[in-house]
Chain A
Amino acid sequence: MYPDGTRALSDFNLHIADGEFMVFVGPSGCGKTTALRMVAGLEEITEGEIRIGDELINTVEPRQRDVAMVFQNYALYPHMSVFENIAFPLRARRLSRSEIERRVVHTASLLGLEDLLKRRPRALSGGQRQRVAMGRAIVREPQVFLMDEPLSNLDAKLRVQMRAEITRLQRRLGVTTIYVTHDQVEALTMGDRIVVMRKGVLQQVGPPQELFDRPANLFVASFIGSPVMNMLRATIRSVANGRSFVCCIGDQELALPESFADERPEIRSWIDRDLVVGIRPEHMVDAALDADRHPRLRARAVLVQALGSERLVHFEMPGHPVLTDEVLEVARDADASIAETLEREAKGGTTVSLIARYDTRSSIAVDENAEIAVPAQHLHFFDLGTGAVTAAPESNGRVVVQEAAAASSR
């Protein structure tokens, strides 16, 4: 809790299994780092309990918690050599000289740092420093690793490489890990489970696939996935004496198949409520290539980005954009200008933008009026007022996270 009474974290209940790779993700200021520092003992806890194993550690000094931490800027001791940096936690534990030597050399070989042991941190590249910071953490064989955005100071290419390296290392060592990041791609690719946080409140916990397929609310839906899930204002109306339903978006009606009501009987309670319908870009199909006769939306293509393996098509269509706090917060975290565009659009209020991730066979050109096929089973419905999910679609497929797309949407 901060001195002014704001809570940095509230109602945060989480059980992390032994050996699990848990990722805390959320926009800046969501409390993920605070949560991590609480586990490390660097931040005081005003209420609640933290346990490692069976031991309550609320009041245990950081140095007795048997956790190791990798800091965002690595915090390597600048006046010590790489060897001394890695040896520091062992010296603090008063291990024998030969034991220290043995373990430091072993750790260094694990990370490919053998030739750098005599160097000072200043003489290392970013990636090497990152590895030394990792070495200082793993040399102790602690119960828990805590990592606070350890890759955020590396360039994009190195980040991808280190991401894989850290994951591999963690699997190999089998040490329970809490990893904090604001990058959802990092979270999806690395975590066994992911905790999505916002303003100190836990939004959803689950494996990457579950978060992607069944986001619990608008915030998680807009935070996870890249490009971001398309969000549209919608209402549900029943037709044909309540046997089938249509989803009204702007002036268009998306006919939901009859099976939809069987799969999600709760649809009857949604009728005439203000809803948000979410469609992931990867679930949209170019109607020209759609063999399954999915429901369709009509929209005008305004931009086509060919990325080699896929095409990102930006559409505009009449409708009401969704501008909830959640969506704005996610947008602002990615790029302030995106948030501004969203706000401007919302003021006009008559057109919405959509992004579709199409197959390269799609031949849609800019300014073309096209039809987009939208598989109903992939629609997400949220309550506009609360942002909570009204009913989640079934899980299927796997998460496809692609660097190129992530880079272009940011």
Chain B
Amino acid sequence: MGVFRYTRQSFVREVLFIAIALAFCVPWYILLTLSLKTNTQVYFSPLSLPTKGYFRNYSIAWNQSGLGGSMLNSFIITVASVAGLIVVGSLGGYAIARRESKLASGLYFLFVLGIILPFQLAILPTFFIFRHLHLTGGLLGMILLHIGLTTPLSVFLYTGFVRALPREYEEAAQVDGAGFLRTYLRVVFPLLSPVTGTVAVLSSVVIWNDFFVSLIFLFGSTTQTLPLALYSFVSEDVSQYNLIMAAVAITIVPILAFYIFAQRQLIRGFAGGIRG
């Protein structure tokens, strides 16, 4: 590769990329502009820029929809699930990758199956078991459920990563006098941080945005997550699109902030590898 030269080709390529990027921005544009308009403007000029920002939409949406309480629930569920998931996934992936027994490869196969099979197949029995154990309609049940649902993918990711990790680090730790727990906590887990980042970002987005599972397992209770609160808000104020968009924007902000913050980790985890 020589010095980069800006040719007609690179110009065309750039225009193409910008066009694609713009297409992805359209929903954002609609969301944000609608959330800042009056309801009349929404109907008469839906695509124009808002003449004057009606930020009151946000406070109205916040107050009317009860987003505050459900945001706290979503936050607790997401953080606790992801934390539990990282513990279970990393230990599971580590054990499966390092054990050479048939049991380990059998388990790995089961986890892969867990990714492939749609969980909706098992939703009814799971629901009955959860109800029997009084786990429906509460935060703990949701946390356990989310850990269970996202474990296969995270075990899969962790296993792949550990397999590529040189054994020498663990062997060095062993010879240095560290037991299993110290080796895992002080050496292995820190080395897994790229994939931990990936697992955290992927699963937190999924869990934060989850609607279907929450709808079923929280049905009939006062505990609500953000998507559920949004859903009931839409049903009540079906015509007030400016308020709905404001509420949607509010629910997106936290997870978007986390995503932007953790984006680097995500890419690093996918790219894989340890240097040092």
- Among residues of B, the one whose C-beta sits closest to the C-beta of A122 is B276
> What are 24 contact pairs spanning A and B, CB under 8 A?
A41-B174, A42-B174, A62-B171, A63-B174, A63-B177, A63-B178, A65-B175, A69-B172, A69-B175, A71-B171, A73-B166, A75-B172, A77-B276, A78-B274, A78-B276, A79-B191, A88-B178, A92-B182, A93-B177, A120-B276, A122-B276, A136-B172, A140-B177, A146-B175
Which residues of chain B from 145 to 194 have a CB within 8 Å of any chain A CB?
A: 166, 168-169, 171-179, 182, 186-187, 190-191, 193
Query: At the interface, yes or no: A89 with Cβ under 8 Å from chain B?
Result: yes
* Residues of A close to B177: CB separation below 8 A: 63-64, 89, 92-93, 140
* Residues of B close to A67: CB separation below 8 A: 175
Q: Establish whether residues A75 and B168, one from each chain, have CB atoms under 8 Å apart when the complex forms.
A: yes
Query: At the interface, yes or no: B134 with Cβ under 8 Å from chain A?
Result: no
Query: Could you tell me the distance in whole angstroms from the C-beta of B1 to the nearest C-beta in chain A?
Result: 26
* Residues of B close to A62: CB separation below 8 A: 171, 174-175
Most chain B beta-carbon contacts within 10 A, residue among A68, A77, A122, A136 = A77
Q: Establish whether residues A79 and B190, one from each chain, have CB atoms under 8 Å apart when the complex forms.
A: yes
Q: Establish whether residues B172 and A78, one from each chain, have CB atoms under 8 Å apart when the complex forms.
A: no
**Interface footprint category on A:** 20 to 34
Query: At the interface, yes or no: A387 with Cβ under 8 Å from chain B?
Result: no
- Complex-state Cα separation, A262 to B275, whole angstroms: 64
Q: Establish whether residues B275 and A122, one from each chain, have CB atoms under 8 Å apart when the complex forms.
A: yes
- Complex-state Cα separation, A298 to B190, whole angstroms: 67
Q: Establish whether residues A75 and B191, one from each chain, have CB atoms under 8 Å apart when the complex forms.
A: no
Knowing that A75-B166, A92-B176, A92-B177 touch, tell me 14 more A-B residue pairs with CB under 8 angstroms: A68-B176, A73-B166, A73-B168, A75-B169, A75-B171, A77-B186, A77-B191, A78-B191, A78-B274, A89-B176, A92-B182, A122-B276, A136-B172, A136-B176
A63 in contact with B179 given A71-B171, A79-B193 (CB within 8 Å) = yes
Closest 9 CB pairs of A and B: A78-B276, A75-B168, A92-B177, A89-B176, A75-B172, A79-B190, A63-B177, A92-B178, A62-B174
Query: At the interface, yes or no: A26 with Cβ under 8 Å from chain B?
Result: no
Q: Establish whether residues B175 and A42, one from each chain, have CB atoms under 8 Å apart when the complex forms.
A: yes
* Residues of A close to B173: CB separation below 8 A: 77, 88, 92
Most chain A beta-carbon contacts within 10 A, residue among B168, B182, B275 = B168
A63 in contact with B193 given A73-B168, A75-B169, A76-B276 (CB within 8 Å) = no
* Residues of A close to B172: CB separation below 8 A: 69, 71, 75, 77, 136
A40 in contact with B175 given A73-B168, A79-B190, A79-B191 (CB within 8 Å) = yes
* Residues of A close to B166: CB separation below 8 A: 73, 75
Q: Establish whether residues A77 and B182, one from each chain, have CB atoms under 8 Å apart when the complex forms.
A: no
- Complex-state Cα separation, A78 to B275, whole angstroms: 7
Which residues of chain A from 121 to 156 have a CB within 8 Å of any chain B CB?
A: 121-122, 136, 140, 146
